[in-house]
């Protein structure tokens, strides 16, 4: 069943998906009740508190609502830094997305649209350390293909496990320079990467 969202919810959902997260519908309702500005400020606290988080659940939102007032998160800006990728998070590599909402799905099942025919995609969510600051890097398909030297069609032939191993071999522990857009909360959407 297709979900109809209000403009506020659409804005929140767009920010969530753009930051590399997925969200449970119940958690989305809680965020919507806060209003868009406060919801986006809450979202900005997730990368530091839950660095390995992929799917936002109600418990994650509620944990922050019990704490001190949320600081306003700065808008996005360009980010360039050098350092090492120390970890590749689960949910990276060859994945399938819902054709209706672009969420990451498993076994052709979307938490919003139920049974769907998934679309193959490549992505990486990685822990990055420049010696002073740690953050999460988000690689979409183009950046993943460029950084690992693998195309989507090749990854589909290799399979999910082999593709993930190839990503780890190519990136973990390597000195790299990353250029991208700093997202709310400190995540960086990678636009360019080169080995130092």
Q: Could you tell me the residue ranges of all domains in the chain?
A: 7-65, 77-95+122-195
Q: What number is the average pLDDT over the span 69-90?
A: 71
Q: What is the mean pLDDT of the chain?
A: 81
pLDDT for res 196: 74
Q: Which has more pLDDT, 84 or 71? A: 84
Contacts of 154 (CB under 8 A, 6+ apart): none
Residue with tokens 């969200």: 23
Residue 2 has what pLDDT? Answer: 44
* pLDDT-derived band at 39, boundaries 50, 70, 90: confident
On the 0-12 / 13-18 / 19+ scale of CB atoms within 10 A, 178 is: buried
Task: Please state, in angstroms and rounded to a whole number, the distance separating the CA atoms of residues 16 and 36.
Answer: 12
Give the pLDDT mean for 145-162.
93
Residue 55: per-residue pLDDT: 79
Q: How far is CA 133 from the centre of its chain?
A: 18
Q: What is the largest CA-CA distance in the chain?
A: 49
State residue 93's pLDDT score. Answer: 93
Answer for the pair 136, 187: CB distance below 8 angstroms, yes or no: yes
CATH classification of 77-95+122-195, choosing from 3.30.70.360, 2.40.50.140, 2.40.10.220, 2.40.10.120?
Answer: 2.40.50.140
pLDDT value, residue 66: 67
Q: Using CB atoms within 10 A of its CB, is residue 157 exposed (0-12), middle (13-18) or buried (19+)?
A: exposed
- 67 vs 162: which has the higher pLDDT: 162
Of all residues in the chain, the percent with pLDDT exceeding 70 is 83
CA of residue 100 relative to chain centroid, distance: 18
Confidence bin at 73 (pLDDT 50/70/90):
very low
Q: Which of 62-66, 117-121, 163-167 has the lowest mean pLDDT?
A: 62-66
pLDDT, greater one: 37 or 144? 144
Q: Is the dihedral of CA 147, 148, 149, 152 positive or negative?
A: negative
Q: Give CA–CA dist 178/192, Å, rounded.
A: 6
Which has more confidence, 150 or 25? 150
Where would I find the H helices in 71-118?
A: none
Q: What is the mean pLDDT of residues 168-196?
A: 86
Fold of the 7-65 domain: Helicase, Ruva Protein; domain 3 (1.10.8)
Is the pLDDT reported for residue 70 higher than 70?
no
Q: Report d(CA 117, CA 182) in Å as an integer.
A: 32
């Amino acid at each position: 069943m297709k979900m109809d969202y209000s403009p506020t919810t659409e804005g929140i959902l767009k920010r969530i998906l753009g930051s590399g997260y997925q969200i449970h519908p119940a958690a989305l309702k809680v965020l919507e009740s806060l209003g868009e500005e406060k919801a986006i400020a809450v979202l900005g606290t997730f990368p530091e508190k839950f660095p390995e988080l992929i799917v936002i659940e109600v418990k994650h939102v509620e944990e922050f609502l019990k704490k001190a007032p949320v600081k306003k998160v700065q808008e996005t800006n360009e980010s360039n830094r050098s350092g090492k990728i120390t970890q590749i998070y689960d949910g990276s590599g060859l994945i399938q997305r819902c054709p209706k909402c672009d969420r990451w799905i498993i076994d052709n099942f979307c938490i919003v649209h139920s049974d769907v025919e998934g679309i193959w995609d490549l992505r990486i969510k990685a822990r990055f350390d420049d010696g002073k600051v740690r953050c999460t890097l988000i690689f979409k398909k183009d950046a993943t293909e460029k950084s690992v030297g693998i195309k989507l069609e090749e990854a589909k032939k290799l399979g999910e496990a082999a593709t993930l191993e190839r990503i780890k071999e190519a990136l973990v522990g390597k000195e790299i320079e990353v250029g991208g857009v700093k997202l709310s909360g400190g995540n960086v959407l990678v636009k360019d990467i080169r080995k130092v």
